[in-house]
Amino acid sequence: MKLNTLNKNKILKNIDVDRVNIAIYNTIGSTNDECKSLEQKNDFNIVLSEEQTKGKGRMGKEWSSPLGNIYMSIAFSGSKSNEPLSLISGLICQKAINKVIGEDSIGLKWPNDIILNKKKVGGILIEKEVLGSDVTNIVGIGLNLKLVKKESWWGDLSEYQHIDRNELINIILRKFISYCDKGIDNWKDKWETSCMHLNSNIKIQSNNIKINEGMCIGITNEGALIISSNKDGKICEYEYGDISIKGVY
Ligand code: BTN
CA of 228 relative to ligand 1 center, distance in Å: 31
- Whether 90 lines ligand 1, by a CB cut-off of 6 Å, is no
**pLDDT, greater one: 129 or 79:** 129
Which residue of 141, 153, 156, 173 sits with most ligand 1 atoms within 8 Å of its CB, as the best mutation to test the pocket?
141
Distance CA 111, CA 118 (A): 15
pLDDT number for residue 2:
54
Q: Is position 1 within any domain?
A: no
Average pLDDT of the segment spanning 12-33: 97
**Could you tell me if 144 and 183 lie in one domain?**
yes
- Whether 32 lines ligand 1, by a CB cut-off of 6 Å, is yes
Is residue 241 within 8 A of residue 206, CB to CB? The reply is: yes
CA of 84 relative to ligand 1 center, distance in Å: 17
Q: Which of the listed residues 193, 208, 231 is the one where a domain comes to its end?
A: 193
**Could you tell me if 187 and 213 lie in one domain?**
no
- The model's pLDDT over 185-221, given as tens digits with 9 standing for 90+, comes to 999 999 999 999 999 999 999 888 999 999 999 999 9
**Could you tell me if 229 and 162 lie in one domain?**
no
Which residue of 24, 52, 89, 125 sits with most ligand 1 atoms within 8 Å of its CB, as the best mutation to test the pocket?
125
CA of 67 relative to ligand 1 center, distance in Å: 14
**Could you tell me if 96 and 165 lie in one domain?**
yes
Average pLDDT of the segment spanning 87-102: 97
Shortest-distance Cα residue to atom 11 of ligand 1: 140
**Could you tell me if 90 and 201 lie in one domain?**
no
Query: What residue type is assigned to position 24 of the chain?
Result: I
**Could you tell me if 223 and 113 lie in one domain?**
no
Is residue 53 within 8 A of residue 29, CB to CB? The reply is: yes
**pLDDT, greater one: 157 or 1:** 157
Which domain range does residue 234 map to? 197-245
- The set of residues, in sequence order, having a beta carbon less than 8 Å from that of 81 and lying 6+ positions away, is none
pLDDT number for residue 4:
75
Average pLDDT of the segment spanning 217-240: 96
Shortest-distance Cα residue to atom 2 of ligand 1: 57
User: Residue 79 — very low, low, confident or very high, per pLDDT cuts 50/70/90?
Assistant: low
Shortest-distance Cα residue to atom 7 of ligand 1: 142
Q: Is position 2 within any domain?
A: no
Average pLDDT of the segment spanning 164-188: 96
pLDDT number for residue 151:
82
- Whether 63 lines ligand 1, by a CB cut-off of 6 Å, is yes
CA of 46 relative to ligand 1 center, distance in Å: 14
CATH code for the domain in which residue 56 is found = 3.30.930.10
Q: Is position 25 within any domain?
A: yes
**Could you tell me if 174 and 223 lie in one domain?**
no
Considering the chain, what percentage of its residues have pLDDT values greater than 90? Answer: 82
pLDDT number for residue 249:
74
CATH code for the domain in which residue 241 is found = 2.30.30.100
48 has pLDDT over 90: yes
Q: How many domains does the chain have?
A: 2
pLDDT number for residue 47:
98
**Could you tell me if 24 and 49 lie in one domain?**
yes
Q: Which region among 42-56, 83-97, 112-126, 200-214 has the lowest average model confidence (pLDDT)?
A: 200-214
Average pLDDT of the segment spanning 167-171: 98
Order of strands, sheet of 242-245, starting from the edge strand that comes earlier in the sequence? 235-238, 225-229, 209-219, 201-206, 242-245
Q: Is position 169 within any domain?
A: yes
CA of 5 relative to ligand 1 center, distance in Å: 20
pLDDT number for residue 185:
95
pLDDT number for residue 96:
98
